[in-house]
Amino acid sequence: MIIQTAEIKGLKLSGRVAAKPLAAAFAARAALTVFLLISILAQALSGHTAAVGGDGEAAEAAFTVDARDAMERTGDEELRGTISLSGAWALYPMVVKWAEEFRKIHPGVRLDVQAGGAGKGIADALSGMVDIGMVSRDIHPEETARGAIALAVTKDGVVPTASRRNPYLKDLLRMGIGRSAFEGIFVTGRMKTWNDVLRNGARKEVHVFTRSDACGAAETWAAFLGKKQEDLLGIAVYGDPGLADAVIRDPLAVGFNNINFAYDAGTLKPVEGLVVIPVDLNGNGILDPGEKFYGSRDEITAAIERGAYPSPPARELYFVTKGKPVRPVVRKFLAWVLKEGQGFVREAGYIPLSAEKLKVSF
């Protein structure tokens, strides 16, 4: 069973996919029946609750699951257990895809995926609240000292955004905005009007938006400007969806988003009402042909892959565990992500890592 949870505008949204009926497991091996019945009866004494599947419906059964999950099995027997992940919005769409595909092979595994920002992901992993933290920034030394182990799993980027209703959209798309001007918008505040940005005589103010949650997107965007998240100016909004919505609603807004929240997964074009602001990489005040790669998700991911879009704001994305993972179901999932799971990276709108990066022993 996959449980997907996300906080969007203060609402917790969840979706469940029922697990494979346990009846199939009983039929597979008659000798296992007695073992399972004895295990369930013994475990029921403890009163812990876990979700299991039954006849295509979600069901609840009370039994104990110890620290290594008594239901996990490897080898010739079916893999079972629960894997919990939380953290970066940037990784959320990719991890949901991986979870769906992994369950096609191992229907006895339940994955609980929650988005809430990179800061939450690493905090949850280090506190033991989840098995895996989803992190979209570099790991800090103090986090490593507490036992954080980072596993690079894919790559994406952060892009600046504006409303499609921006009155100066034509100039914005023709000229782009250079790094120095972005610094004036997000850090020093010296770029107060659209004339300061575009030199077009516009008197209207630039409305700046940033993230309220500790997140990799803000940390990465700040790193592009030589700063940290706490240095960014602007109206603080929670989460990728919230920030995108705030920018869409304000014609004078400037913000930033992870690629997979700036581009529509269906059309691969920018989300309706949103514009990805081209970055004038050489700062010459005009977009050169080699700087025009924002029209679709495929264009920007290809630019990241060939190095045309700089890092930062392009960056690697990580799974973080506290120490090396021990539970077989977690180790199996991580191994699958680094191998078979990489086959789903491009279609999900991410950039694959090199084979060398993916050579990890755990």
CATH at residue 210: 3.40.190.10
Question: Could you tell me the pLDDT band of residue 362, with boundaries at 50, 70 and 90?
Answer: low
Rounded-to-integer distance, Cα 229 and Cα 248, Å = 22
Can you give the pLDDT at residue 31? Answer: 37
The pLDDT tens digits for 168-205 are 999 999 999 999 999 999 999 999 999 999 999 999 99
Q: Find out whether 89 and 217 touch, Cβ atoms under 8 Å.
A: yes
Domain that residue 63 falls in: 2-155+319-344
**pTM across the whole model:** 0.78
Give just the sign of the alpha carbon dihedral 106, 110, 116, 122: negative
The answer to whether position 361 is within a domain reads: no
Total domains present in the chain: 2
The pLDDT tens digits for 289-328 are 999 999 999 999 999 999 999 999 999 999 999 999 999 9
Can you give the pLDDT at residue 357? Answer: 85
183 and 325 in a common domain:
no
167 and 221 in a common domain:
yes
33 and 141 in a common domain:
yes
Does the pLDDT value for residue 253 go beyond 80? yes
162 and 145 in a common domain:
no
The pLDDT tens digits for 128-169 are 999 999 999 999 999 999 999 999 999 999 999 999 999 999
Can you give the pLDDT at residue 52? Answer: 27
Position with higher pLDDT, 56 vs 81: 81
Apex 208 CA angle, 207 and 212, nearest 5: 135
Rounded-to-integer distance, Cα 62 and Cα 45, Å = 8
Can you give the pLDDT at residue 132? Answer: 99
The answer to whether position 349 is within a domain reads: no
Can you give the pLDDT at residue 122? Answer: 97
87 and 123 in a common domain:
yes
The answer to whether position 358 is within a domain reads: no
The answer to whether position 181 is within a domain reads: yes
The overall average pLDDT reported for the chain is 83
The answer to whether position 353 is within a domain reads: no
308 and 226 in a common domain:
yes
172 and 135 in a common domain:
no
